[in-house]
Chain A
Amino acid sequence: MPQLDTSTWLVTILAMILTLFILIQLKFHKYSYPLSPAPKTFKSTSFPTPWETKWTKIYSPLLLPQQ
């Protein structure tokens, strides 16, 4: 059976190691699977302080009692 002729075994094994562990893996590690693009939701992270939720005229700086 020609598969049992061990004179060619070294060449075959070296070629396989080169191909399987280096060449093919170089091809497959370039595969990228990005997530589908989706818009980011707009959400404000700063919460208005209680005295800013309602603007009243008396809080304008020039109308405050002068110190």
Chain B
Amino acid sequence: MNENLFSSFITPTMMGLPIVILIIMFPTLLFPTPTRLINNRLVSAQQWLAQLILKQMMMMHSPKGRTWALMLISLIMFIGSTNLLGLLPHSFTPTTQLSMNLGMAIPLWAGTVITGFRYKTKASLAHFLPQGTPVPLIPMLVIIETISLFIQPMALAVRLTANITAGHLLMHLIGGAALALISISPTTALITFIILILLTILEFAVALIQAYVFTLLVSLYLHDNT
């Protein structure tokens, strides 16, 4: 039962070839490059969406922080499209892999911290000690702040992995339960099916929200450091 439940999270390889590479690169095919002055509907809609997101996200940053605009919009679109594609049946969702999320979180977080250290050394070191702490508490508080700084990338990665994995697992379990209940008691199966539909709607929301939260937190760390 355990093997069956987690089998959708195994990195797909076909006869030894890692086709996970193709799966991760697939969402880029869904964003066509604009080549005209007035583009087709798909490209125009995506450009409009990108502008909406950019205006909302980049408003709170200084000009130095706004140089990260391309990175942040790519991040939110990549995570959002990957999560949404993972809701298709029998598909593999790359964001369930802890490796990929760690690979996204650690370099981006490290980038924001190093930017802060290079350009505003005193201010970024001052983040380790909140204002107005009593003098005897200072050593302990510095330790706590350091730990909370280093846990930021881990939290980013594990949050995304756990949310998406948990949602997919729940859908597997409830779907399997609904299927097994059809022969036993159709009304219970119907109730379970309705729960499954509600869960799928929730998963759509979670897919988008997780992308947003990831990007928002990276943007917040950036704001602290620029």
Contact = CB atoms under 8 A, between A and B. Distances in A.
Interface range on chain B: under 10, 10 to 19, 20 to 34, or 35 or more? 35 or more
A24 interface: yes
A21 B103 CA distance: 11
Interface in B118-167: 161, 165
Contacts of A14: 21
Interface range on chain A: under 10, 10 to 19, 20 to 34, or 35 or more? 20 to 34
B220 interface: no
A24 B26 CA distance: 10
Contacts of B13: 8
Interface of B: 6-7, 9-11, 13, 18, 20-21, 24-25, 27-28, 31-34, 47, 50-51, 70-71, 73-75, 77-78, 94, 96-100, 102-104, 161, 165
25 contacts: A1-B6, A1-B9, A2-B7, A3-B98, A3-B99, A8-B13, A9-B99, A11-B11, A11-B21, A12-B94, A13-B99, A13-B103, A15-B20, A16-B94, A18-B21, A19-B25, A20-B78, A21-B74, A27-B28, A27-B31, A28-B31, A28-B73, A31-B34, A31-B51, A32-B34
For the complex of A and B, list the 6 residue pairs with the smallest distance between their C-beta atoms, beginning with the closest: A9-B99, A13-B103, A8-B11, A15-B21, A2-B10, A15-B24
Interface of A: 1-6, 8-9, 11-21, 23-33
